[in-house]
Amino acid sequence: MSTKKTIVLDDMILTKTMPTTAGSRMLEGYMSLFDAEAVTSLTEAGYEILGKAKCGEFAIDLVGESCYFGCELQDGHFVNDLCEKVKAGSIGVGLDVNGSIRRASAQAGLISIKPTYGTASRFGTVEVACSGETVSVVGSTADDCAEVLSVIAHHDTKDGTSLSSDLCDKVKVCAKKAKKVAILSSSLDGVDDEVRAKIDTFKAILEKNGVEVCVVDSDIFKFARPAWNILMCSELCNNVSRFDGVKYGYRSSNFTTIDELYTNSRTEAFGELLKSAILFGSDNLSTDNYDRAYDKALRVRRVIVEAFDRIFEDFDAVLCPACSKMAYTPEDIKNNKHLCFEENAYTAPASITGLPSVALAGVTLIGPAFSDGMLLDIARMYEEVCK
């Protein structure tokens, strides 16, 4: 009998044997004709795929609350289905589009890694924001994450953005011990006392392990969020346009013309949050706005990449909050239905740059490309004290 843990996939990962819905009524009951590369490689490595976990509609929300098929509440807070299944003993694999996996795992006492962009094939994941989304792993321990990452990180000819085998292999090892970690001044804006305390705890543990922690002045966390929202929603608008009611998925029964078929199918099957994202993205890509919205966001992305490069000349990693608070309630959403486009301030820097990021205990660590192993090594310092 296999001693390996079982795998649970979030509903952005396509499977032949189970429906893949992306949390949307649009894909209710949708059966893919092929498995995602992550599924194929995990199966070949002897892992049992236990099943699927629900996710927010196209995985852009906070922690899964926008799922058409419902989201559980515990003590008045939303709970993430993938994290619940990891707590029950599995290892989770999902698509991190807008940080929901990082937020949920950091809030649930679990750990997740969003590996360096291009090392884990995105073949067979429902495309939303292709330039930044990454197949990610949620586990109970850093070792869980490392183990599954070593399977899903490999070159794949079916993904044009997949990096070479040499580069993919780099994420599987810890090349060096972290000695200096930076906290970026702008990253603490808006976080509550509980999260601030999480940062302090983590900082203290790092220092006890001989890691120097410094606060550094940086605007990265101010600019990454608006730029990422533009890029993510624009790409989303384009990618979900294929869900038009013509070929598969939901089709309205209320139409006489092709335009009504499109409009009514999408109106009836898409949720409010997704519609906001589509409209915002569509506006950013319009001829009138392209230069000052989409193109500018691309330029901001380059500036942020360069800003991180400069920080990593002096530091091994960046420590920052994973979220502004440790749980979200239905009340939060009622007050601000676009909260996920604000909370992603903490996750957008790693999404927009494709840098690896590990989330746990209310915080996230961001490192240079291919420093995935080192980030998990830092996480183990925390685990030794707190587990």
Partner 1 sequence: MKYEVVIGLEVHVELSTKSKIFCSCSAEFGAGPNEHVCPACCGMPGMLPVVNKRVVDLGMTAGMMLNCHINRTTTFDKKSYYYPDLPCAYQTTQWFAPVAVNGYVEIDTPSGKKKVRIKQIHMEEDAGKLVHDIAPDTTHVDFNRTSVPLIEIVSQPDLSSADEVIAYLERLHSLLRFARVSDCRWEQGSMRCDVNLSVRPEGSTKLGVRTEIKNMNSLTAIARAIEYETARHIDAIENGTEVLVQETRRWDDAKGKSFSMRTKETAGDYRYFPDPNIMPIVIDDAWFDEINASLPEFPEVKRERYITELGLSEYDADQITSSRALCDCFEDAYSVCGKAKDCANWIISEVMSILNSKKMTFDMLTLDGKALGALINLVCDGTVGRANGKKVLLAMFDDASIDPKKYAEENGFIVSNDTSLVESVVKKVCDSDPQTVADIRGGRDKAIMALFGRCMKELRGNCDPQVLRKALMDYING
* Helix or strand (DSSP H, E) at 383: helix 372-386
Instruction: Report the chain's C-alpha Rg in angstroms.
Output: 20
The smaller minimum CB distance to partner 1, of residues 20 and 344, is found at 20
The smaller minimum CB distance to partner 1, of residues 246 and 386, is found at 246
The smaller minimum CB distance to partner 1, of residues 249 and 356, is found at 249
Q: State the Cα–Cα distance between residues 344 and 347, nearest whole angstrom.
A: 5
To partner 1, the closest distance from the beta carbon of 9 in angstroms equals 13
Binding site for partner 1 (CB under 8 A): 14, 20, 22, 27, 32-34, 36, 122-127, 130-131, 157-161, 234-235, 237-238, 241-242, 244, 246-248, 258, 262, 282, 285-287, 290, 294, 298
Q: In terms of Cα–Cα distance, which of 323, 321, 331 is closest to 366?
A: 321
Q: State the Cα–Cα distance between residues 385 and 387, nearest whole angstrom.
A: 6
To partner 1, the closest distance from the beta carbon of 216 in angstroms equals 30
The smaller minimum CB distance to partner 1, of residues 174 and 285, is found at 285
The smaller minimum CB distance to partner 1, of residues 139 and 349, is found at 349
Q: State the Cα–Cα distance between residues 342 and 345, nearest whole angstrom.
A: 6
Q: How far is CA 140 from its chain centroid?
A: 17
To partner 1, the closest distance from the beta carbon of 371 in angstroms equals 22
Q: State the Cα–Cα distance between residues 49 and 42, nearest whole angstrom.
A: 8
To partner 1, the closest distance from the beta carbon of 244 in angstroms equals 6
To partner 1, the closest distance from the beta carbon of 177 in angstroms equals 33
Name the E strands within 250-387.
317-321, 357-360, 363-366
The smaller minimum CB distance to partner 1, of residues 98 and 107, is found at 98
The smaller minimum CB distance to partner 1, of residues 22 and 42, is found at 22
To partner 1, the closest distance from the beta carbon of 151 in angstroms equals 19
The alpha-helical segments, DSSP class H, found in 90-180 are: 100-107, 142-152, 165-170
Residue indicated by tokens 């939901």: 250
To partner 1, the closest distance from the beta carbon of 78 in angstroms equals 25
- Rounded to 10 deg, the angle between the 220-239 and 296-314 helix axes is 140
Tokens of 98: 């807008």
To partner 1, the closest distance from the beta carbon of 2 in angstroms equals 27
Residue 8, SS3?
A: strand
Kindly give, in sequence order, each residue whose CB lies less than 8 Å from that of residue 214, ignoring residues fewer than 6 positions away. 180, 181, 182, 183, 315
The smaller minimum CB distance to partner 1, of residues 86 and 297, is found at 297
